[in-house]
Amino acid sequence: MQDALEAYARAGARQMLAAALEEEVRAFLGRGRYARGTPFRGYRNGYRPHGS
């Protein structure tokens, strides 16, 4: 029973952290996950074009 409760708590904590991180990235970039925005503020995965 303890292992199941711990797994449930860990999954909930993981979900909360992922949601918080997603919101932080969305706020910084000024757009949702699949939206395009102007002005362009960067890539979600940290990609940098060659020559940057």
pLDDT tens by residue, 22-50:
999 888 888 888 787 677 777 777 676 66
pLDDT at 51: 63
Which one is predicted more confidently, 25 or 13?
Answer: 13
pLDDT at 52: 56
Question: Can you read off the two tokens belonging to residue 1?
Answer: 């029973």
pLDDT at 21: 93
Question: Can you read off the two tokens belonging to residue 21?
Answer: 């991180």
Q: Indicate yes or no: pTM above 0.85.
A: no
